[in-house]
Amino acid sequence: MSKDFLYNEIANGIARQISNGILQPGDKLPSVRSLCHEHGISMNTAKRVFLELEAQSFIDAKPQSGYYVSKRSYTKLPLPEVSRPSSRANDNEPDELISKVYANMGDENLTLFSISAPSGDLLPLAKLKKEILQATRELREGGTAYEPLQGNLKLRRMVAIRSLTWGGNLHEDDLITTNGAINAVSLCLMALGKPGDTIAMESPCYPGTLQLAISLGFKVLELPTHPITGLEIDALKKAIPKINLCLLVPNFNTPLGSCMPDEHKKEIVALLAKHDIPLIEDDIYGDLYFGTQRPKCCKSFDKEGKVLWCSSISKTLAPGYRVGWVAPGRYKEQLLKIKLIHSISSASIIQESVANFLKTGKYENHIRQLRRTLHDNYLHYAHAIAQYFPEGTKTSRPQGGLAIWIELSKEINTKHLYELAIKQRISIAPGRIFTLQNQFENCIRICIGLPWSDEIRSKLKQLGNLTKKL
Amino acid sequence: MSKDFLYNEIANGIARQISNGILQPGDKLPSVRSLCHEHGISMNTAKRVFLELEAQSFIDAKPQSGYYVSKRSYTKLPLPEVSRPSSRANDNEPDELISKVYANMGDENLTLFSISAPSGDLLPLAKLKKEILQATRELREGGTAYEPLQGNLKLRRMVAIRSLTWGGNLHEDDLITTNGAINAVSLCLMALGKPGDTIAMESPCYPGTLQLAISLGFKVLELPTHPITGLEIDALKKAIPKINLCLLVPNFNTPLGSCMPDEHKKEIVALLAKHDIPLIEDDIYGDLYFGTQRPKCCKSFDKEGKVLWCSSISKTLAPGYRVGWVAPGRYKEQLLKIKLIHSISSASIIQESVANFLKTGKYENHIRQLRRTLHDNYLHYAHAIAQYFPEGTKTSRPQGGLAIWIELSKEINTKHLYELAIKQRISIAPGRIFTLQNQFENCIRICIGLPWSDEIRSKLKQLGNLTKKL
């Protein structure tokens, strides 16, 4: 077993004990020396375990004393239950609040808890700028020419190489670039489905895909979803006869932040393949894990080419660049045709600059830092929510990603909370927009992409006070 | 009447006489002095008329002798007839050759007569590069943030200001930016139509819109189109009861290059408005006029907000930038919703850089030069076609844009010509891809966006020889 693997394995184990509450805030951890003995590892490896856990805010070092479980591991609020949407597919119009919430996008006068994207303060702006310059120099005709339909070769190559991190084994020719992941999902739906088809999704799920599905004439079957382990497999099994397509966000989906265990992924891929149902896998949050290891993707279990793996850099590097891609398996020709029809090609300069950024290892450094910051943010945000929100509040425990899902007591309608909050220049995402059914009226999603500060704390306090009034 | 207007008016009149054959190649034009007398204008204005006509290759100056109609005004080949497509709407799959032809896009080993875009040699690459750098500096968070849904404000402002050039009077708030014009048209169709609807188009027309319409489940009604004046109004009148939507390219449409007279535009807008049929107007070639004046747009006659005016910089500045827009009139809310659903936003950096380029007047200088070059190209290409193609060949007489439409004798199938040509590394667009019906099998479209050279001449000769063999 390699040293790298060992150190990951051990840190992972301790992190899990902290998350599960076996180790409590303030608990002393074993010393470096005893960790060596216990696992038969070197002092260096043992030290690395603690440094890693400290970097991820699981533990704090006290000089001359040792390591302790961080107090920022606040008393946790209870988890929301597994969702229980209706087992009937429907094609209701998405809630009109979606448009209102998204219209706030880019508004500098608001505190945007509603937009699931990292703030610019967390992004490598200067380095990206340099890559843009480089790309205008390198590209044929300065990037003004139409690029090949399949998209920038260098970008496809880099995404293929990085597929190893999630258990994939893609080749550059397996990939097609798109204008962000939502455009990739949109192309998949147009290529594979037709009006009247039924598509299964997690519930709650990303409002954008609900809108997309309905606008294309699909029916949506929302499936019970666990806040920790994601989609309930038994529910999917029962739904099989009713569905034509499946669209899942297995890793740190928004709004729940759940992460489907690998065995579930494997089972779901096999189940869907057996019934010849294509799986569109949206993996935009996969790189944002708080733990020690990148979770696998369903695509890594895809033997028959029926998983269409979609992702982008919008949640990790530059939302405004609109750079995404899809590995469509056996559906490549259909996807290319639809891409040609709806957009011809993507902006070369931006794709080339992202490819160069990925190539030089800058991305690895950036994403490591971003993960730590987001994990810290999560702990801070969750702590503040526990402090300021009324009794009876429940929250998700995301294992990665950009959001916390908050369930308030039943009598609170978060549409009203939205209206009150926006008057105080705070934008939140009310639960009702994450479903086509009448559920989640007492929930909100809070994004953790804004850097932690006293101002953010006081905004969360304001929000908590508004909630108490309701 | 202002001097500017006068000089345009007079140059326009002479250009028209040359185009109509009233003035023949080699004919001597009146002297500067007699032009002054005739029109009651100053020497300077008269000189400007001749300089303008010379710059546009209509006339040549002979030292110590005067101005003559240019000999490059070659003996013209006959015009193709008005098209006569079936009067029944249909939803046939577009010809599979479309994908083949577009797959050649970006292939540096081919002479791409098939792609309707200006070559990079004709574009202001260095200046655009500078604008990209500038944009990364100016934009909030270096352009990495999601931009507002409606798109970059500066770009919308510049497009609104420039709407005066085609008789429009747009406000920045009337516009939504998109990923190129085809994306604008795609959003319009998704926002306004539903599967089973019938959409009227010119015939022949751009293959991309045929694919788009069919992929969205529309039926297409192709309408008779005159190679000079565009859509036949009487045919549209008869079709009114059958159609839900109309999609036209009134200015220098591809492949014909026809330009609808202003009175026709006015009449069509009124007719469609009366029957509550939205008109999607694709104006991507409008800035590429060979004459002295920018043609108006249907949008300029739109009193009820039922014209959705789409355009882009793909044919004039940078195809690979994917920057377009739409002024959707009364349908703005629907369009915004569909844009959010399918792509969220566009790449800010690119939009900002184009806006800056438009702002500084660089665009006006560039486009003036590009128009002259394309007009020259047209005359060279047409001359070569007249020389090298077999007897019985007819060609369009585009008044702007990027293409020449060639009609060969009936027994020639240009699908075969395509296959033969591609073996000689020449890519052409066979006529069959510009329709869903069985017509135009003996036609091809040749684009004039590649700079004129001996190599291009010899490629056209090769193509002519292949045609003769068939």
Give B36-54 pLDDT, tens digit per residue. 988 888 988 898 888 878 8
CB B297 within 8 A of CB B250: yes
Determine how many CB atoms are found less than 10 A away from the CB of residue B66.
14
Give the pLDDT confidence score for residue A44 in this predicted structure.
87
Give the pLDDT confidence score for residue A18 in this predicted structure.
79
CA B266 vs CA B298, B300, B330: distances in Å: 7, 9, 19
**Six token digits for residue B217:** 């489940």
SS3 B212: helix
Higher pLDDT, A27 or A174: A174
Give the pLDDT confidence score for residue B347 in this predicted structure.
85
* Domain span(s) for CATH 3.90.1150.10 in chain A: 97-121+364-469
Whether the per-residue pLDDT at A72 is higher than 70: the answer is no
- In A138-251, DSSP assigns E strands to 176-178, 198-202, 219-223, 225-226, 230-231, 245-248
* Domain span(s) for CATH 1.10.10.10 in chain B: 3-69
| Nearest C-alpha neighbor of B85 from the set B408, B432, B406 | B432
Q: Which amino acid is at A462?
A: Q
Q: Please give the CATH topology (third level) of the domain spanning B97-121+364-469.
A: Aspartate Aminotransferase, domain 1 (3.90.1150)
Determine how many CB atoms are found less than 10 A away from the CB of residue A428.
24
Chain-wide mean pLDDT for chain A? 91
Share of chain A above pLDDT 90, in %: 69
**Six token digits for residue B213:** 């319409």
SS3 B115: coil
Q: Chain A: residue nearest B149 by CA?
A: A103
Q: Phi, psi (5° rounding) for residue B203?
A: -135, 125
For residue B62, give how far its alpha carbon lies from the nearest alpha carbon of chain A (Å): 38
What CA–CA distance (Å, rounded) separates A288 from A272? Answer: 27
Burial of A76 per CB tally in 10 Å (0-12, 13-18, 19+):
middle
Q: What is the DSSP letter of A317?
A: T
What CA–CA distance (Å, rounded) separates A114 from A245? Answer: 29
What CA–CA distance (Å, rounded) separates A407 from A409? Answer: 7
Q: Please give the CATH topology (third level) of the domain spanning B3-69.
A: Arc Repressor Mutant, subunit A (1.10.10)
**Six token digits for residue A174:** 């397996």
For A2-22, letters b (16+ CB in 10 Å) and e give: eeeebbbebbbebbebbbeee
Residue B61 pairs with which residues in a beta bridge?
B67
What CA–CA distance (Å, rounded) separates B284 from B268? Answer: 19
**Best of A128, A146, A192, A312 to mutate (most B CBs within 10 Å, chain B):** A146
CB A158 within 8 A of CB A165: no
Residue A1: pLDDT band (50, 70, 90) is very low
Q: Phi, psi (5° rounding) for residue B426?
A: -120, 125
Q: Which amino acid is at B137?
A: R
Determine how many CB atoms are found less than 10 A away from the CB of residue B65.
8
Q: Phi, psi (5° rounding) for residue A108?
A: -75, -10
**A128–B142 C-beta distance less than 8 A:** yes
- Tell me the pLDDT tens digit for each residue of A304-345: 999 999 999 999 999 989 999 999 999 999 999 999 888 778
- Tell me the pLDDT tens digit for each residue of B9-24: 788 778 777 766 778 8
Give the pLDDT confidence score for residue A406 in this predicted structure.
97
Q: Please give the CATH topology (third level) of the domain spanning B142-361.
A: Aspartate Aminotransferase; domain 2 (3.40.640)
For residue A283, give how far its alpha carbon lies from the nearest alpha carbon of chain B (Å): 17
Task: Please state whether beta strands B111-112 and B426-427 pair in parallel, antiparallel, or not at all (unpaired).
Answer: parallel
What Rg do the C-alpha atoms of chain A give, in angstroms?
Answer: 22
Q: Chain A: residue nearest B192 by CA?
A: A215
Give the pLDDT confidence score for residue A15 in this predicted structure.
77
* Domain span(s) for CATH 3.40.640.10 in chain B: 142-361
Q: Which amino acid is at B77?
A: L
For B266-278, letters b (16+ CB in 10 Å) and e give: bbbbebbbeeebb
- Partner-chain residue, chosen from A212, A217, A319, that has the shortest CB–CB distance to B146: A319
Give the pLDDT confidence score for residue B1 in this predicted structure.
42
Residues of chain B contacting residue A317, judged by C-beta atoms under 8 Å apart: 144
Angle at A114 between CA A113 and CA A117, to 5 degrees: 85
What CA–CA distance (Å, rounded) separates B418 from A378? Answer: 60
- In A59-129, DSSP assigns E strands to 59-62, 66-69, 111-112
Q: What is the residue-level pLDDT of chain B in tens, covering all 470 positions?
A: 455 567 777 887 787 777 667 788 888 998 989 889 888 889 888 988 888 788 766 788 888 889 998 876 555 788 999 999 999 999 998 888 888 888 887 788 899 999 899 999 999 999 999 999 999 998 888 888 888 889 999 999 999 999 999 999 999 999 999 999 999 999 999 999 998 999 999 999 999 999 999 999 999 999 999 999 999 999 999 999 999 999 999 999 999 999 999 999 999 999 999 999 999 999 999 999 998 899 999 999 999 999 999 999 999 999 989 999 999 999 999 999 999 888 778 888 999 999 999 998 899 999 999 998 999 899 889 888 988 999 999 999 999 999 999 999 999 999 999 999 999 999 999 999 999 999 999 999 999 999 988 899 999 999 999 999 98
- Tell me the pLDDT tens digit for each residue of B300-350: 999 999 999 999 999 999 998 999 999 999 999 999 999 988 877 888 899
Range picked from A129-143, A222-236, B35-49 for highest mean pLDDT = A222-236
**Six token digits for residue A145:** 């020419």
**Six token digits for residue A88:** 């009937």
**A345–B105 C-beta distance less than 8 A:** yes
- Partner-chain residue, chosen from A147, A318, A341, that has the shortest CB–CB distance to B144: A318
For residue B65, give how far its alpha carbon lies from the nearest alpha carbon of chain A (Å): 43
For residue A341, give how far its alpha carbon lies from the nearest alpha carbon of chain B (Å): 5
SS3 A407: strand
Determine how many CB atoms are found less than 10 A away from the CB of residue B18.
20
